[in-house]
Structure 1
Amino acid sequence: MTESREYHPKGLLRYPTYALGKLHKSMHAELGTSLREHWVLTYLSEFSEISQQEMADALGIDRSEVVRLVDSLEKAGLVTRTRDPEDRRKYRLAITKSGRKLRDETDAQIAAATDALLVRLTPAERATLHQLSLKALGYDLDEL
């Protein structure tokens, strides 16, 4: 039998989400980063001082997962978590200068890894893949 990383069941290859998931997993394994941690840093760089619940809702992940991610990022000095002055039960999240730096570095690494993974596609095919992915998610391409 072939190695598990080389084996791709034909039944699963019919699904674009499976193929894109394999690309995603391969890219982050190469980078040694967590995609979800990168999501948190990217979101906080655009929307600061949000609650953990707002983050969970925005990213579509469980609140307990956000807590785990933020714990790790906070220990690394990449985000801060402070009590919400209006509701002491909640925490407000913000990205630090170190968090922004890491996010920028990771963005560059992701761009390079994406280029390497999609090397078999022409620039037009890459653009089409991206546009169709966004369209499938319901985004208005004219607003991006």
Structure 2
Amino acid sequence: MTSQPSIESRGEVSFAVAKAAKLHRQRADEILSELGLHVGQEMLLNVLWTQGEMTQTELANRLEIQPATLTVALRRLEKSGLIVRSRDPEDQRVSRVQPSFKSGELRDGVMLAWARLERETVQNLSEAEQNMLTILLNKVADGLSAD
């Protein structure tokens, strides 16, 4: 009896990307949990740290996520005291978001965590392979985001 091909054998590249992405996210979660953060929260905070106060819509666009997804993330960060939300004085329908002082205390730790994750991610690659991987993953992302 012949066995059916597996997903792995029908899509080697997709399987490898999915496996690497899963392991990368798990490792990121482990490292960030040491700071009391969940994956994605560090990126949101990083945008606020570098760009400063912005509207929720601007933040969702910058992070390329749905506003509803952002609202959930902001609720958690606000509850943790890491961001401050306020109404725009010119338009009460608009919510503005800024990093709290408390979140600033995490900034160095987040940068160290990402540096550690980067080291672990590329530890088996030469510099040339790292550069090529970056190019190839960006091409994959462009292909997947094409309409």
Identify whether the pair has TM-score above 0.5, normalized to the shorter chain: yes
Q: 1:52 to 1:30 in 2, by over 3 A?
A: same
Cα deviation code 1:91-141 (max 9, x no counterpart): 111112221232331221121122123211112322332344446657xxx
Q: 1:21 to 1:12 in 2, by over 3 A?
A: farther
Look up the match of 1:107: 111
Looking at structure 2, the residues matched to 13 and 25 of structure 1 have their Cα atoms a distance apart, in angstroms, of 20
Which SS does the other structure have where 1:61 is aligned? coil
Matched, 1:96 2:95: no
What letter is aligned with 2:24? H
Look up the match of 1:126: 130
- TM-score by length of structure 2 reads 0.75
The alpha-carbon deviation at position 37 of structure 1 amounts to: 0.8
Q: Percent identity?
A: 27
Greater mean deviation of Cα atoms: 119-128 or 40-49: 119-128
| 5+ residue gaps, structure 1 | 1-7, 139-144
State whether residues 74 and 80 of structure 1, in contact with CA within 8 Å, keep that contact through their aligned partners in structure 2: yes
RMSD: 2.3
Match of 1:71 among 64, 68, 75: 75
| 5+ residue gaps, structure 2 | 1-6, 143-147
Looking at structure 2, the residues matched to 62 and 42 of structure 1 have their Cα atoms a distance apart, in angstroms, of 18
What letter is aligned with 2:18? Y
Looking at structure 1, the residues matched to 26 and 87 of structure 2 have their Cα atoms a distance apart, in angstroms, of 37
Look up the match of 2:24: 24
> How many residue pairs align between the two structures?
131
- TM-score by length of structure 1 reads 0.76
Q: 1:10 to 1:117 in 2, by over 3 A?
A: farther
Structure whose alpha-carbon radius of gyration is higher: 2
